C-alpha cells in the first residue's frame, strides 16, 4: 500500500532531512554521503519501487540512480552536493553543465537534485520544481512549510509518468537520435573504464580487424550506437503485434532478408550486453514499444522528395545525432527527380546502346550502387522494373526470386543507412506483392567499397563481419557488373585513406607496384616502417598523370575527395567487365578544375560516351541563374553538383 501524502511528509521526509542534517554536522559530507538517505526516501514514496545506485555504471556516464518498479524502469535520479548551483547547471554552465545537457537530451524521465531541491524533467522539459528545505547562513537546514507534501506529489508524478506514444516517422527519428547519442557517450565511457579484454573492446577489435582498420573508440561508439538503434527499430517493425517487444527478443524479430544483422544483433544486444549501457538501450526499447508503428509505417507511403520518411529516419536522424559525421561521410539525401532521371537514362541506354530491350529488367544486367546509403537508387531501379510488370502480376514473384534479387547489389559502410536500406527495399518488395522465401537475402552488404576483401578471423563477431565483406568483395571483383550508379559521398577530408603505414619485420621482403614497374624493399635488421598504397590509392594514381607525364600540381589534394575515389572505382569496375554504364551525381569540381586534368583524360579514354548535366548551385563561386536570380542547389550544400552518365560500348559496337 502506498503511503498517504501526510504520512510520507510527516514520517519519511522528516527522517530524510534529519539524516541529511546529521551527515552535514560531521563536517566531511560529500554528494555520495547522502545517497543512502535519498534511496530510502524514494523507495518509501511508493510500493515496490526500487532505487538502484551502481558505482561502476555511474563511472561510465550513467545517472546516479535508476528507479524501477517490479523490474520495469520508471526513470533516473542524478544527485549533486548540497548547495550546488542547479540554475547554473541547467543553463549548461559550470563543472556540471555539459552533464546536464547530455542527460536532459538523452533521458526521457529524470530528476536532478541537490538533496534539498528537486527538479523533474520529461522529454527535455522541466515539469516541476520543489524545495523541501534550504541552508541558512550558518549552514543549518531549514525546512519549508508544505515542501514535503509537494515533494510527495513530484515523486508520484515521476513514478507514474508514461512514455508518450510516438505517431510520426519524423518525431520518432528525432527522439531516437537524442537517445542514441546518449548511448554513444555511455559506450565511450565504458571503453575508458573497461579492461582491454572486455566485451566492448573485443567488439571494437573485431570491426578494426575486418572492416575499418583505423577505427577509433569514438567512431566505434557511433557505429555501435547506430547499430543498436536501427537494429531495434527494424526488429520493432517486424515484431508480432501481440508480443511484448524487448531487447532480448529483438534478434528473433529482425527480418531474415538481413542474416548478418540478425547474427550481429544476437551477439551485441543479448543478455551479455554490458550493464553500463543496457539500461539506456532498454529506455530506447521502451520508446519503440510505445511507437504507433502502423501510423509510422504509413509514412513510408506518403509524400515525395524531402518528405520521404527515409529522410526522417536517416538524414534528419544523423543531422540531429551528429552533424559533423554527416558532413564527414557526405551524407545527403538525393532528390527523387534526380534519381529518377539517372535511372530512366540508364534504362534508355541499355535499350539503345546495349541491345537489351528490357532495359534494367534484363535478366543478365547486374547493377551496383557502391554507396547505397538508404537504398534510394536501388528503390527506383526496382520501381522502374516493376512498372514493366503492371499487366503481368502473376509473373512478378518468379521474376524477383530468379532474376532480380541475384543481380541488384548495394554496398554501404555506415550501419544506420545499411539497416534502413534493408528495411526500405524489403518493404517495397512486400508492397509489390512479393513474398520472401526463408533463405533469401537482399543484396545490400555492410562493407567498405574502397577497400579490398577482409581476411579470415577466429573471433566470431569479426568473422561474421568478414563474411559480409568477403561476399561483397566477390561481387565487386568477380561479378560482371554492367551498371554502377548512385550518389557517392562528397568529402574533401576523405575517411578512406589512399595510403597506410605498415611495419615490415626484419629480413622480410615487401613488394610494391608503381607506375614504372615493381619495386622490392627489404627491411633492415630492426625492421622498417613504409607507406603502402591502399586499393583505391593505387587506382587514384592514374588520375595524377596527363599524356604519361605527372600533373605537376604542388598539392593535388582534391583528388583525394571521396566522390573522386568512387568515380574511379566505378570506372575500374566497368573496365573489368569490359563494357557498361556509370550514372552518378557528384560534386562538379572535376569538370573544370586544373587538378582534374588527368581524371578527365582517363575517363575520356575509358568511355565512348560521356553525358554531363551540370546542375550548378555552387555558392562558393557565387553562381547565379541566367536571369541573375540565386542559383539553388538540389542539395543543402554550398558545393555545386553535376550528373554524369558514362557509357563504354560492348565489344564490336560503334557510336
Question: pLDDT per residue over 614-641, tens digit each?
Answer: 887 665 666 666 666 666 666 655 578 8
Question: Residue ranges per domain, the chain?
Answer: 5-160, 169-486, 499-533
Supply angle C-alpha 78, 82, 86, rounded to 5.
Answer: 60
Specify the pLDDT at position 624.
63
Specify the pLDDT at position 304.
43
Q: Are 647 and 353 in contact (CB under 8 A)?
A: yes
- 36-81 pLDDT, tens digit each: 999 999 999 999 999 999 877 888 889 999 999 988 889 999 999 9
Q: What is the mean pLDDT of residues 399-417?
A: 91
Q: pLDDT over 70 for what percent of the chain?
A: 83
SS3 351: helix
If one compares 149 and 638, the residue with the highest pLDDT of the two is 149
Specify the pLDDT at position 250.
86
- Residue 244 Ramachandran class (φ > 0 left, ψ -120 to 50 alpha, else beta): beta
Q: Whole-number mean pLDDT of the chain?
A: 84
Q: What is the mean pLDDT of residues 183-190?
A: 93
Specify the pLDDT at position 331.
53
Alpha helix positions (H), 507-561? 535-540
Q: What is the mean pLDDT of residues 256-272?
A: 83
CA proximity to 349, closest of 254, 509, 464, 482: 482
- 307-331 pLDDT, tens digit each: 455 555 676 777 777 766 655 554 5
Q: How far is CA 521 from CA 338, 516, 518, in A?
A: 49, 15, 10
Query: CA-to-CA distance for 508 and 506, rounded, in angstroms?
Result: 6
Q: How far is CA 97 from CA 79, 120, 250, 322, in A?
A: 14, 16, 35, 19
DSSP secondary structure letters along 28-73: ---GGGGHHHHHHHHHHSSTTEEEE--HHHHHTT--SEEEEETTEE
Q: How many CB atoms lie within 10 A of CB 291?
A: 26
362: pLDDT confidence band, cut at 50, 70 and 90? very high
Q: What is the 3-state secondary structure (H, E, C) of 241-261?
A: CCCCCCCCCHHHHCCCCCHHH
Q: Are 133 and 114 in contact (CB under 8 A)?
A: no
8: pLDDT confidence band, cut at 50, 70 and 90? confident
Cell 527515409 sits on residue:
310
If one compares 458 and 543, the residue with the highest pLDDT of the two is 543
CA neighbours within 13 Å on the CB side: how many for 641?
Answer: 21
Amino acid at each position: 500500500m502506498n503511503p498517504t501524502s501526510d504520512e510520507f511528509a510527516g514520517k519519511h521526509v522528516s527522517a530524510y532531512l534529519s539524516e541529511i542534517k546529521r551527515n552535514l554536522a560531521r563536517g566531511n559530507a560529500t554528494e555520495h554521503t547522502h545517497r543512502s538517505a535519498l534511496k530510502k526516501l524514494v523507495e518509501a514514496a511508493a510500493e515496490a519501487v526500487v532505487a538502484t545506485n551502481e558505482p561502476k555504471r555511474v563511472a561510465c556516464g550513467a545517472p546516479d540512480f535508476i528507479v524501477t518498479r517490479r523490474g520495469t524502469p520508471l526513470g533516473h535520479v542524478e544527485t549533486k552536493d548540497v548547495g550546488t548551483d542547479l540554475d547554473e547547471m541547467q543553463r549548461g554552465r559550470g563543472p556540471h553543465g555539459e552533464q546536464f545537457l547530455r542527460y536532459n537530451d538523452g533521458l526521457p524521465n529524470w530528476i536532478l537534485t541537490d538533496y534539498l531541491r528537486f527538479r523533474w524533467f520529461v522529454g527535455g522539459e522541466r515539469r516541476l520544481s520543489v524545495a523541501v528545505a534550504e541552508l541558512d547562513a550558518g549552514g543549518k537546514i531549514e525546512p519549508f512549510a508544505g515542501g514535503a507534501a509537494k515533494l510527495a506529489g513530484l515523486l508520484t508524478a515521476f513514478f507514474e509518468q508514461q512514455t508518450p506514444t510516438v505517431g510520426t516517422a519524423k518525431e520518432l527519428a528525432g527522439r531516437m537520435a537524442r537517445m542514441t547519442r546518449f548511448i554513444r557517450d555511455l559506450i565511450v565511457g565504458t571503453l575508458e573504464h573497461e579492461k582491454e579484454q572486455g566485451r566492448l573492446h573485443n567488439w571494437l577489435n573485431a570491426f578494426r580487424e575486418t572492416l575499418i582498420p583505423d577505427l577509433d573508440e569514438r567512431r566505434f561508439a557511433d557505429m555501435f550506437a547506430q547499430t543498436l538503434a536501427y537494429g531495434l527499430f527494424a526488429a520493432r517493425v517486424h515484431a508480432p503485434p501481440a508480443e511484448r517487444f524487448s531487447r532480448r527478443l529483438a534478434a528473433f524479430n529482425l527480418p531474415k532478408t538481413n542474416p548478418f544483422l540478425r547474427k550481429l544483433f544476437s551477439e551485441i544486444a543479448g543478455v551479455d550486453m554490458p550493464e553500463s549501457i543496457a539500461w539506456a538501450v532498454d529506455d530506447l526499447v521502451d520508446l519503440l514499444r510505445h511507437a504507433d508503428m502502423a501510423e509510422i509505417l504509413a509514412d513510408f507511403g506518403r509524400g515525395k522528395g524531402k518528405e520521404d520518411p527515409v529522410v526522417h529516419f536517416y538524414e534528419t536522424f544523423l543531422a540531429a545525432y551528429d552533424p559533423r559525421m554527416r558532413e564527414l561521410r557526405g551524407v545527403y539525401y538525393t532528390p527523387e527527380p534526380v534519381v529518377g532521371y539517372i535511372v530512366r537514362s540508364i534504362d534508355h541506354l541499355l535499350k539503345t546502346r546495349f541491345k537489351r530491350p528490357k532495359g534494367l529488367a534484363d535478366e543478365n544486367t547486374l547493377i551496383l550502387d557502391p554507396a547505397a546509403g538508404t537504398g534510394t537508387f536501388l528503390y527506383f531501379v526496382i520501381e522502374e522494373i516493376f512498372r514493366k510488370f503492371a499487366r503481368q502480376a502473376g509473373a512478378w514473384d518468379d521474376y524477383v526470386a530468379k532474376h532480380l534479387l541475384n543481380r541488384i547489389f548495394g554496398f554501404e559502410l555506415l550501419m544506420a543507412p545499411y539497416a534502413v536500406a534493408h528495411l526500405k527495399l524489403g518493404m517495397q518488395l512486400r508492397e509489390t506483392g512479393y513474398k520472401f522465401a526463408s533463405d533469401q537475402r537482399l543484396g545490400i552488404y555492410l562493407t567498405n567499397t574502397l577497400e579490398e576483401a577482409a581476411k579470415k578471423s577466429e573471433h566470431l563477431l569479426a568473422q561474421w563481419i568478414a563474411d559480409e565483406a568477403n561476399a561483397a568483395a566477390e561481387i565487386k571483383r568477380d561479378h560482371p557488373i554492367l551498371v554502377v550508379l548512385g550518389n557517392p559521398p562528397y568529402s574533401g577530408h576523405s575517411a578512406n585513406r589512399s595510403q597506410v603505414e605498415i611495419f615490415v619485420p626484419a629480413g622480410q621482403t615487401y613488394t610494391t607496384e608503381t607506375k614504372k614497374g615493381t619495386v622490392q624493399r627489404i627491411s633492415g635488421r630492426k625492421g622498417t616502417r613504409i607507406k603502402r598504397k591502399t586499393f583505391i590509392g593505387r587506382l587514384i594514381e592514374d588520375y595524377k598523370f596527363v599524356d604519361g607525364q605527372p600533373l605537376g600540381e604542388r598539392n593535388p589534394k582534391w583528388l583525394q575527395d571521396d566522390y573522386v575515389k568512387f568515380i574511379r572505382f566505378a570506372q575500374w569496375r566497368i573496365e573489368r567487365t569490359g563494357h557498361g554504364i556509370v550514372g552518378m551525381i557528384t560534386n562538379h569540381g572535376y569538370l573544370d578544375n586544373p587538378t582534374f586534368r588527368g581524371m578527365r583524360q582517363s575517363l575520356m579514354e575509358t568511355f565512348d560516351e560521356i553525358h554531363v548535366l551540370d546542375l550548378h548551385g555552387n555558392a562558393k563561386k557565387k553562381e547565379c541563374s541566367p536571369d541573375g536570380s540565386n542559383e539553388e542547389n538540389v542539395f543543402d550544400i554550398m558545393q555545386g553538383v553535376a550528373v554524369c552518365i558514362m557509357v563504354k560500348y560492348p565489344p564490336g559496337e560503334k557510336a
